[in-house]
Amino acid sequence: MTKAVLIAGTHSGVGKTTVSMGVMAALTKRNMKVQPYKVGPDYIDPTHHTAICKRPSRNLDTYMMEQGDILRTLSHGSRDADISVIEGVMGLFDGVDSTEVSSSAHLAKMLGIPVILVVNVHGMSRSTAALVKGYSEFDRDVNVAGVILNQVGSERHAQLIKDALTDIPIVGTLPSNSDISVPSRHLGLYMASEQQYDTTEIADFIESNVDLDAIISIASNCSTPEPPDEPDHREVPDVTIGVALDSAFCFYYQDMFDALRQCGAEIEFFSPVKGEMPDVDGFYFGGGYPELFAAELERSRTTRVLRSLAADGIPIYGECGGLQYLCSSYETEEKTYRMADIFPAETRQTKRLQALGHTKASANGAFTKGTILGHEFHYSVTECTRDSRFAYEMIRGKGIENGKDGITEYNALASYMHAHPATFPVASFVEKCREYRKR
């Protein structure tokens, strides 16, 4: 196992994303191979990690993944890395409901990885010591091994905190610097491809204000269990799946791509916004921002021809933004746009958050069976016709309507739930594509 450290915060908005990105950038600038990870089901932060480290960032979530899945993902991603940097989620101990599940603390305990706690110290000095003491002693199985102070007002401010906080090393003191913050939108931070931030600037900022050698030393104190044996059999590619990848469809897990390939699929990325239509045996439309590109999607050749392919039986899987695109129409503030019209349903964008959280569904669809775990996060409402058919009964989560999700038509299925390959039947979807190819 390589060196590893988890960067967590006392709460959301404390600066852990900026700190995590900066540490990744600074270590990369030292010519270290840095493997990035993100706690939880986030799609956006990993794009920044990937851009900085030039290695695919991977998600680690103790709700959607068993310990063996997490250990295999960690081992596989870190195989030739010098150090792994894991960005936490929300506050250190915040998990599903009032449990530790899916929290940064739960993952740190499970993997035996030390934690660097980011604390926003604006407006307090000695109280910082009380705050850190609470976090370090709340669960003694979590190793809070270092602290980074954010929003430090002056050298005197930093010294006052250092004099009070003597039990845990302070490995960084960061002054306020609005130039390296990342703006947000309704679904979270902007994607890495939409940013022009200078990684040299953020790397220099961290190098000047953080003891990177101390972080590397802390990262050496891991007690991560050995992962279960990975499957040594990989199917020979004999089917091609088109994956929509552009500014409208950009929410994907790297592990899902790996799982598709493991099951014998080649992936061909294409852009519905640009009207591309690859010659493939199945389609996968992930989440993203179709509402921002509704006009382009309405004009797209992809939109015009997809319905006839669906009627012909080609397997199609969509999630959230993919669901919205595959419906008959999409209503935004400006107007109502025609979409792919595969499902008898209409979607409209709202200003209010409609669903957020982890999900669990009992599935019985064309290529989905059993229990599927995932998450949902959207501001839209999808209204289906009375005769619409659904593949998911929601055990946890809202779904599309009345505790149902996974609307299905022909060999197409789409849901508000974003699924993780740890429980999504990837092999069944690939096999359905294989059957279509052999017709």
Q: How far apart are CA 254 and CA 59, in angstroms?
A: 8
In the sheet that 380-384 helps form, which strands lie side by side, from edge to edge? 336-338, 327-331, 343-349, 380-384
Instruction: Provide the pairing of β-strand 327-331 with 336-338.
Output: antiparallel
DSSP string, 28-72: HHTT--EEEEEESS-SSHHHHHHHHHSS--EEE-TTTS-HHHHHH
Closest to 86 in 3D by CA, of 106, 113, 62: 113
Closest to 161 in 3D by CA, of 127, 211, 185: 127
> At residue 395, what are phi and psi to the nearest 5 degrees?
-90, -35
Which CA distances in Å does 272 have to 259, 266, 278, 293? 23, 19, 10, 10
**Angle value at C-alpha 67, between 227 and 234, nearest 5 degrees:** 55
How far is C-alpha 201 from the chain's CA centre? 25
Of 53, 263, 320, 327, the catalytic one is 320
Q: Which residues contact 222 (CB under 8 A, 6 or more apart)?
A: 1, 3, 4, 111, 112, 113, 114
How far is C-alpha 17 from the chain's CA centre? 13
Q: How far apart are CA 159 and CA 168, in angstroms?
A: 15
Three-state DSSP class for residue 351: coil
- 250 is annotated as an active-site residue: no
Where do runs of H (alpha helix) occur along 139-281?
155-164, 199-209, 212-219, 254-262
Catalytically active residues are 320
